[in-house]
Amino acid sequence: MSVVVQNIERADQEVIDALANCGVATVHEAQGRIGLLASYMRPIYRGARVGGSALTILAPPADNWMLHVAIEQLQPGDVMVLAVTGPSDAGYFGDLLATSAMAQGCRGLIIDAGVRDVVELEDMGFPVWSKAICAQGTVKETLGSVNVPVVCAGAAVAPGDVVLADDDGVCVVKREDAAEVLEKARARLALEEEKRQRLASGELGLDMYKMRERLAQKGLRYL
Amino acid sequence: MSVVVQNIERADQEVIDALANCGVATVHEAQGRIGLLASYMRPIYRGARVGGSALTILAPPADNWMLHVAIEQLQPGDVMVLAVTGPSDAGYFGDLLATSAMAQGCRGLIIDAGVRDVVELEDMGFPVWSKAICAQGTVKETLGSVNVPVVCAGAAVAPGDVVLADDDGVCVVKREDAAEVLEKARARLALEEEKRQRLASGELGLDMYKMRERLAQKGLRYL
Amino acid sequence: MSVVVQNIERADQEVIDALANCGVATVHEAQGRIGLLASYMRPIYRGARVGGSALTILAPPADNWMLHVAIEQLQPGDVMVLAVTGPSDAGYFGDLLATSAMAQGCRGLIIDAGVRDVVELEDMGFPVWSKAICAQGTVKETLGSVNVPVVCAGAAVAPGDVVLADDDGVCVVKREDAAEVLEKARARLALEEEKRQRLASGELGLDMYKMRERLAQKGLRYL
Amino acid sequence: MSVVVQNIERADQEVIDALANCGVATVHEAQGRIGLLASYMRPIYRGARVGGSALTILAPPADNWMLHVAIEQLQPGDVMVLAVTGPSDAGYFGDLLATSAMAQGCRGLIIDAGVRDVVELEDMGFPVWSKAICAQGTVKETLGSVNVPVVCAGAAVAPGDVVLADDDGVCVVKREDAAEVLEKARARLALEEEKRQRLASGELGLDMYKMRERLAQKGLRYL
Amino acid sequence: MSVVVQNIERADQEVIDALANCGVATVHEAQGRIGLLASYMRPIYRGARVGGSALTILAPPADNWMLHVAIEQLQPGDVMVLAVTGPSDAGYFGDLLATSAMAQGCRGLIIDAGVRDVVELEDMGFPVWSKAICAQGTVKETLGSVNVPVVCAGAAVAPGDVVLADDDGVCVVKREDAAEVLEKARARLALEEEKRQRLASGELGLDMYKMRERLAQKGLRYL
Amino acid sequence: MSVVVQNIERADQEVIDALANCGVATVHEAQGRIGLLASYMRPIYRGARVGGSALTILAPPADNWMLHVAIEQLQPGDVMVLAVTGPSDAGYFGDLLATSAMAQGCRGLIIDAGVRDVVELEDMGFPVWSKAICAQGTVKETLGSVNVPVVCAGAAVAPGDVVLADDDGVCVVKREDAAEVLEKARARLALEEEKRQRLASGELGLDMYKMRERLAQKGLRYL
């Protein structure tokens, strides 16, 4: 039952890039607060922001064989999303695999396990969001699958979904929803800019969002 | 039972600033090793150091409504301290709320939950110590309270207490003890400076602190 | 049964330095994937890399007395490795102890507990890998031992073993194996450099490592 | 986007019951080691074993409103599977909800959050597998959905999938695979019985599974 | 600053006992969802239910000296509540201390640390709610305090407050609120009994609580 | 470097059994508070108490092959102690392996990983202390070693060391120290019995242990 699905559909790259520019928190809100990976997924260095099409990998605990298989399936603009069949914080990925992935146009890795060579990865500019940083090596003994639907850090990810990651975390947008979510995210950002200016000038959220009446109805008392 | 206490007493701002300059570890020692928040409270960026009067917020899990209520109560020099009635790592706070809080003179946020927009917050220079970084949004449905005594990350905090935070963690000093603790902290720092020079010159702590006799009495053997 | 062993053997300093240059992940692989400390041991700042002879410390929970005893036993090039007899995240170590340790030629600290004054430690260039950052102080009441075999963060460490630490974690090499492991690590690095160039040029790991046949035998299917 | 899907397909009840009898560990193996929920999901009392059709619930953090909505959709033989849009260990479920659920024929609850009234639930014979036991109450303010695909404790669950739970954990079998997995599980059990007798009589697994040659090839040495 | 406060006020024992009978979850609800200790506090055996006046203890990490001091202050009906100045899971308490505490009329222990001799404690019928079960011993070197306000497992507890504990967790009721909370808890139980019967007969919570209109207003759609 | 050491020395079985009868907490104290495994090691059922000679196993993450190898090396009275080269909570061990181990005279398993079939194991009377209960299976692909020194749950264990486990946790006694530790443990138990009677009669520990003067010297004040 170990398979490599070779042809997957991807969202439009311009849409993906525009979504990445909106930021994870905004996109997550714009699509109705779904698709967020668990907050234990942290970037290995600050300031990275990435968007791409999910090339999904399902791997056994402490076994990174499928990463080698997956790299052949990469297309420029892809982000690898590695889920595990059992928890592991071993270091599945390091600078050699990153060299290979970058040569195929890969933009980053989301991995519900460990990563190593983090200084080298930062120097190479290859961003990774992971559960752990760990020098522990892995074996190449047991099969998994590539480009099947997976659950990564608590979120369901299908191959070709849009994956976005920045310092706030990692979010997945269903491929078919990408354009619509982008529109909503942009609308949200436009609104936020106006709100930001009003708040910066000292206007209170209580007034701007007209919260006072509802707070009183709920029973808030000022002493 | 949801209340907003509007008038709270605060410590003298010069004392607060002086305490902040002493650093969390020193102040914590100076006041007898009390008042420290749990070590899972981490700054969202390195190098921030803040002191202020605690504006306390008690909020339900994954509901940030009370932050909007609290911001109206801010006075310049305040630090918001958000405690939860049940654990949550949702992102209660982001750049819009920070814009509003800064406009009211707020110096930072201590939150026993999650925060988002961390890159923007660093760019704005608004420091946050939190349990989690998480893009997950919150609702505005359930009341809490503002400026009531709370327990935040294991420490009791009363409104108007002095809150200090740096890379070593977060510490609270009772408002009425602030001046006395400052005096002790300064005395401690003066002593430390002298000790530092002696240690730097190669003198051993065993000798400087006259530990050898007591170690021998306890039974330490050198082989 | 609290002892300080005063004379321990150390590995050759040139070998130690050369091992440190190879990096933790490489050395860990080179010696057969043993000797790694748990991945919760994290550096207090980025970019540090250290190698040294282990001066081991066994300390009670929240009691740092033995650190003072240990500093007297330091020789230039040593790294202190502190293990606990019961879990603690208290701040055993800060800038004063670091001043003293540096004056004796110590290169860093590996501590299965907490550390404080992290900004000052970074300014001093004294690297620490720890389980926690915590301003909580410790007492000086209960004895432990210095230079006895310990278990630190899940790894057995003997006095005089080679300790290596960088952003990927911490690894211990048995003193008597140091030279042999260095040889293997260097061989590994040489091989890696060649692989890196082939992968960078677009060659696939599947081909370079000749994995295709074995994958097929295991039953991997391409769809 | 909050919906209640009212008509879902379910697997054959006899197949479900037979799968439950096989046990979670056996079924998990039989279907190729997929579908297991995270091991933090623990039963609130020992000795329960349950199988049923998944009625899925997606609920906000610390908000149990959707449980009331879900109960109306229950059919005899169902097991409720509650997933959250953000982590929570609040007590979503207690004896009143259990009374209601049992009245509709519900067999148990799998909840990636907290539960309370555990003594009463055990007395009633209503089994729950949960992330936490917690008396903390929840609100009824925010919608979620019923009978949509969810991720519960790291496993993807679709409405109508077969859910099995016992002291070893919780496993989900895709509805359409239920019959085939049952067949494999039964075959496995039959084989196990024979193996058990041979092992009980003292035969070694090394011989029974013919492992000696492969161990030698891999390089195992006997000293 | 280490003190033993010898005279504390206690609530009426009949009120305390009646509160204990109501159960932790009910009392927690009745007093507005405050006062609950963190859910990691678990009973060392099933089926215990206890109520008493809090004799508070503030103890250093891994040091149980203050327990000996506290036992002298016990009055029949008291429950000891031990908070720590820094986290520890050492075994502060075992069968000898329980023998002594029981001889003074103590009803149980709530401890934000570890406990040992759990089989013996169960045999003696001395219930404990703890963060850990751990055979690790403690020292008697550093002072703490008895009957001062503490924070235990995230909840503020004052000496003489009412402490309630059962399989759902641990809850504290302010001494001065005990009678009023009891009244509310009883009212709640009376209401629950009626609800239970209606739910058991098959009536839906959706109808009994009249939720349908509000769900529709919020936008819930049935498919 | 994967080896099976076939001949190991064991302690006297009568000494081992007598140590087991003393209990983990007492033995741990008697030997100077060393040798305790981390408190996350919990028994899969209540009331088990076991003592035996450690047959050590070093196994890769999620790979239980070495258990089959180890079983051949068992002698009646042995307890298997499984350590991992990287963290895993997979279920390495279940009822089939237990059947085989029991047939060789094995008394129990200490495993720094997961176990499954816990109901069956309890029915068989085969006690296990583990980090996790998890139905997740393991592979048989990578070698480890048998009867080499290991670190299990933070404690160093040599083959043939005495392993003791009960509801308070797991403790290891060096083989060569077994007789001496037994003597000390028995002395301790004798003393405890006398203390128990005095404490039960109402005598205070403060008096029995003569603590009052030292408390006063340290500065304890009674208010």
Give the confidence band of E8 by pLDDT, cuts at 50, 70, 90. Answer: very high
Question: If you count them, how many residues does chain D have?
Answer: 223
The alpha carbon of F12 is separated from its chain's Cα centroid by a whole number of angstroms, namely: 17
* Closest chain F residue to the Cα of C32, Cα to Cα: F1
Pairing outcome for strands E108-115 and E78-84: parallel
Residue from the list C1, C38, C156 with its beta carbon closest to the beta carbon of F156: C156
Dist CA A113 CA A201 (whole Å):
45
Find the CB nearest C96 among B23, B195, B211. Answer: B195
Closest to A189 in 3D by CA, of A63, A25, A36, A46:
A25
- Contact predicate A64/A138, CB 8 Å: yes
Contact predicate D5/D146, CB 8 Å: yes
Distance from CA of D134 to the nearest CA of E (A): 5
Instruction: Say if residues A62 and F142 touch (Cβ distance below 8 Å).
Output: no
Residue numbers of chain B with a pLDDT score lower than 70: none
Share above pLDDT 90 across residues of chain E, in percent, rounded to a whole number:
100
**What number of other Cβ atoms are within 10 A of residue B190's Cβ?**
10
Name the interface residues of B facing A (CB cutoff 8 Å): 2-6, 65, 68-69, 71-72, 89, 91, 94-97, 99-100, 102-104, 114, 116-119, 132-137, 140, 142-143
Tell me the two tokens of residue D112. 């990636």
pLDDT (tens digit per residue) in D25-40: 999 999 999 999 999 9
Say if CB C62 and CB C90 are below 8 A apart.
yes
Searching chain A, which residue's CA lies closest to the CA of residue F134?
A: A86
Chain B residues within 8 A of A29 when measuring between CB atoms: 137
Low-confidence ranges of chain A (pLDDT < 50): none
CB contact under 8 A, D143 and E192: no
User: Which helix (H) or strand (E) element contains residue D166?
Assistant: strand D162-166
Position D38 scores a pLDDT of: 97
What does the pLDDT look like over F64-82, one tens digit per residue? 999 999 999 999 999 999 9
Alpha helices in chain B (DSSP H): 13-22, 24-30, 65-72, 95-103, 118-124, 178-200, 205-208, 212-218
What ipTM goes with this model?
A: 0.94
- What gap in Å lies between CA D143 and CA E216, rounded to an integer? 10
High-pLDDT (> 90) share of chain A, %: 99
Q: Is the pLDDT of residue C1 over 90?
A: no
Measure the CA–CA gap between C133 and B168, rounded to whole angstroms.
6
* Residue D151 distance to chain A (closest CA, Å): 6
Query: Rounded to 5, what percent of chain C is helix, strand, coil?
Result: 35, 25, 40
Closest-CA distance, D206 to chain B, in angstroms, reads 47
Interface of F with A (CB under 8 A): 60-62, 85-90, 134, 136, 139, 141-142
Nearest to F53 by CA among F13, F1, F104, F22: F13
Contact A/C (≥3 CB pairs under 8 Å): yes
Task: Decide: C and D in contact? Rule: 3+ Cβ pairs under 8 Å.
Answer: no
Q: Calculate how close chain D gets to E196, using CA atoms only, in Å.
A: 6
Taking residues D87-106, report their average pLDDT. Answer: 97
Q: How far is A220 from chain C (nearest CA, A)?
A: 37
Chain D residues in contact with A38 (beta carbon < 8 A): 87
Residue C125 is encoded by which pair of tokens?
């260039």
C142–E141: do the CB atoms touch at under 8 Å?
yes
Q: Give me F83's structure tokens.
A: 């350590």
Residue D62 pLDDT: 96
User: Rounded distance, CA F167 to CA F46, Å?
Assistant: 7
Q: Which residues of F fall within a CB distance of 8 Å from C1? A: 32
Q: Do B149 and E155 touch (CB under 8 A)?
A: no
pTM of the shown model = 0.96
CB–CB of A113/A139 below 8 Å? no
Going by the DSSP 8-state scheme, the letter that residue F37 receives in this structure is P
Q: What is the pLDDT of residues A51-84, one digit of tens each?
A: 999 999 999 999 999 999 999 999 999 999 999 9
Q: Any idea what DSSP says for residue C40? A: T
Alpha-carbon distance values, B56 to B23, B84, B97, B112, B177 (Å): 22, 11, 16, 12, 18
Question: What gap in Å lies between CA E177 and CA E200, rounded to an integer?
Answer: 34
- Test mutation, F151, F174, F177, F180, chain C, max C CBs within 10 A: F151
Contact C90, C137 (CB under 8 A): yes
Distance between A45 CA and the closest CA of chain C, angstroms: 10
Determine the Cα–Cα distance for residues E78 and E93; give it in Å rounded to an integer: 16
Instruction: Note the pLDDT tens digit of each residue in F173-221.
Output: 999 999 999 999 999 999 999 999 999 999 999 999 999 999 999 999 9
How far is it, in rounded angstroms, from Cα F30 to Cα A97?
Answer: 52
Report the alpha-carbon distance of residue C92 to residue C61 in Å, rounded: 9
Nearest to E49, CA basis, from E74, E72, E26: E26
Distance from C-alpha of E47 to C-alpha of E183, rounded to nearest angstrom: 25
pLDDT on residue D24: 97
- With an 8 Å Cβ cutoff, are A202 and B119 in contact? no
Within 8 A by CB and 6+ apart from C17, the residues are: C51
Rounded Cα distance between E3 and D176, Å, is: 68
- C223 burial via Cβ count (<10 Å: 0-12, 13-18, 19+): exposed
The residue with tokens 């706030």 is A168
Q: Which chains touch D (3 or more CB pairs under 8 A)?
A: A, B, E, F
Token pair belonging to F13:
């079985």
- Subunits next to C (3 or more Cβ pairs <8 Å) are A, B, E, F
Q: Could you tell me which of D62, D57, D19 has the C-alpha nearest to residue D166?
A: D19
Which is it for strands F91-93 and F128-133: parallel, antiparallel or unpaired? Answer: unpaired
At E1, is the pLDDT very low, low, confident or very high (cuts 50, 70, 90)?
Answer: confident
CA gap A218, E74 in Å, rounded: 43
Give contacts of F97 with chain D, Cβ < 8 Å.
Answer: 205
d(CA E210, CA E21): 30
The widest CA-to-CA distance across chain D, in whole angstroms, is 67
Give the residue-averaged pLDDT of C142-169. Answer: 97
B74 phi and psi, to 5 degrees? -65, 145
Of the candidates E34, E151, E156, which has its C-beta nearest B85's C-beta?
Answer: E34
Q: Is there a contact between E86 and E114 (Cβ–Cβ < 8 Å)?
A: no
Residue F122 and residue F44: Cα distance in Å, rounded? 8
CA distance readout (Å), C77 to B121, C109, F129: 41, 12, 41
Question: Which residue in this structure is represented by tokens 């102690």?
Answer: F81
Q: Do B95 and A168 touch (CB under 8 A)?
A: no
If DSSP codes are grouped into helix, strand and coil, which group holds residue A103? helix
Mark yes or no for CB contact C85/F34 under 8 Å. yes
Report chain A's C-alpha Rg in angstroms.
20
Distance CA E186, CA F81 (A): 52
Contact A114 C202 (CB under 8 A): no
The backbone torsions φ and ψ at residue D74, rounded to the nearest 5 degrees and listed phi first, read: -65, 145
Q: Do C88 and E142 touch (CB under 8 A)?
A: no
A163 CB neighbour count, 10 Å cutoff: 32
User: Tokens 């505005």 sit at which residue?
Assistant: B140
pLDDT confidence of D1, banded at 50, 70, 90? confident
Bridge partner residues of F110 (DSSP): F81, F129
Please give the Cα distance from E68 to E93 (Å, whole number): 10
Q: From the CA of D73, how many Å to the nearest CA of chain E? A: 10
pLDDT digits (tens, 9 = 90+) for E194-221: 999 999 999 999 999 999 999 999 999 9
Query: What is the per-residue pLDDT for F144?
Result: 97
pLDDT at C37 over 90: yes
Q: Which two tokens stand for residue B98?
A: 């920070």
Tell which of A36, A204, A210 to mutate to test the B interface (max B CBs under 10 Å): A204
Taking the CA of residue B27 and the nearest CA in chain C, the distance in Å comes to: 10
- Among chain E, residues having any CB pair with chain C shorter than 8 Å are 60-62, 85-90, 134, 136, 139, 141-142
Residue type, C17: D
pLDDT in tens, C59-87: 999 999 999 999 999 999 999 999 999 99
Cβ-based contacts of D87 with chain B (< 8 Å): 88-89
pLDDT band at F1 (very low <50, low <70, confident <90, very high): confident
